[in-house]
């Protein structure tokens, strides 16, 4: 059965074209970052992405590298199906800290690839993965917890909004810190890579599994057990399958 023509199935993104990935990572004073970079490189290779990795960008270079990536995508010789951007650094809510200690706004980085600014990615999936603190709060966990499923309606208008087809995946929720092991890397990146390589399903299904696994973990920090979970914000209009 052709799922594109059936009203009983959700439409899928066409992933037959090029897959491009950019990773910008501040390793300075972030022990364990190299382990995460190695894991990400293996994941992108496994999933068929052409991957670019840049270490220790300044705040200005975060912006410059994003612009270069947009130009690479728009100049690609074949159709581009999907782009991944991984941003790893110290941070605060809505901000990333460059190698120089200056801050760059996440929204300024995200908008470089939106449907207005990157023509080759118009109506194509754009996935941003952010491994960074989003505040100073620490989660000790609660005795009883649950999860929430967000249903996203599919629509196929003649024109599309500027900010659709984008998925933002944060290593922690708003206002909270993110954790990273000096030798084993970050729980978030390592869990995400393992799930993306070992499991099949739509990307939102995979991210639900990442959240489930992270929610089950206990992280020891400052002599106390902590809890952490990622946060996902999606404007995807179709299912996105990487395998």
Residues with a catalytic annotation lie at: 90, 133
Cβ distance 52 to 69 under 8 Å? yes
Location of structure tokens 């890397």: 185
Rounded CA-CA distance 170/151 in Å is 19
DSSP 165-212: SEEEEESS-TTB----BTTTB-HHHHHHHHHHHH--SBHHHHHHHHHH
3-state secondary structure of 66: helix
DSSP β-ladder status, 166-170 and 231-234? antiparallel
Length of the chain counted residue by residue: 243
3-state secondary structure labels for all residues of 111-129: HHHCCCCCHHHCCCCEEEE
Rounded CA-CA distance 233/216 in Å is 21
Cβ distance 128 to 171 under 8 Å? no
């Amino acid at each position: 059965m052709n799922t594109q023509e059936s009203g009983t199935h959700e439409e899928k993104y066409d992933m037959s074209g090029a897959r491009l990935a950019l990773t910008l990572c501040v390793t300075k004073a972030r022990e364990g970052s190299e382990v995460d970079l190695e894991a990400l490189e293996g994941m992108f290779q496994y999933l068929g992405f052409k991957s670019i990795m840049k270490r220790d960008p300044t705040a200005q270079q975060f912006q410059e590298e994003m612009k270069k990536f947009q130009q690479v995508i728009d100049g690609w010789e074949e159709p581009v199906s999907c782009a991944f951007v991984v941003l790893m650094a110290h941070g605060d809510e809505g901000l990333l800290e460059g190698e120089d200690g200056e801050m760059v706004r996440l929204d300024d980085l995200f908008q470089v690839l939106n449907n207005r600014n990157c023509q080759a990615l118009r109506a194509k999936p754009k996935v941003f993965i952010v491994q960074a603190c989003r505040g100073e709060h620490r989660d000790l966990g609660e005795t009883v917890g649950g999860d929430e499923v967000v249903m996203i309606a599919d629509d196929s208008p003649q024109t599309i909004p500027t900010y659709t087809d984008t998925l933002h995946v944060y290593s922690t929720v708003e206002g909270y810190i993110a954790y990273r092991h000096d030798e084993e890397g970050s729980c978030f990146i390592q869990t995400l890579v393992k799930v993306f390589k070992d499991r099949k399903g739509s990307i939102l299904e995979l991210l639900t599994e990442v959240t489930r696994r992270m929610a089950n973990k206990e992280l020891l920090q400052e002599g106390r057990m902590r809890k952490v979970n990622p946060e996902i914000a999606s404007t995807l209009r179709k299912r996105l399958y990487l395998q």
